[in-house]
Amino acid sequence: MISSSQVLILRCWLEPQEEKEAVAWRFRLENPATGEQRSFVDVAGLVAFFQEQYGGRPPGASQDKSAEETNSSV
């Protein structure tokens, strides 16, 4: 069962690349309650994980019909 809230620790760091002066962001999520860790090589992977785990829609995805009706009446 999924809890209604979770605490996650997000670590972000710059990692040097082979190209001179190039760096890349790396990300790691940790659940301190379970010790589970997940690493990501780019922000797209991090965002995809959140969308998959927590039900977020990707940018530009169409809303369902009931949400469109609600938004159009505002």
H or E segment and range at residue 11: strand 9-16
**Nearest residue to 26 via CA among 41, 45, 46, 11:** 41
* Tokens 């605490």 found at: 7
Assess contact for 52 and 67: CB atoms under 8 A: no
Check residue 18 and give its pLDDT: 86
Q: CB-based contacts of 22: which residues, under 8 Å, 6+ apart?
A: 16
pLDDT digits (tens, 9 = 90+) for 17-73: 888 788 899 999 999 999 999 999 999 999 999 999 888 565 555 555 444 444 444
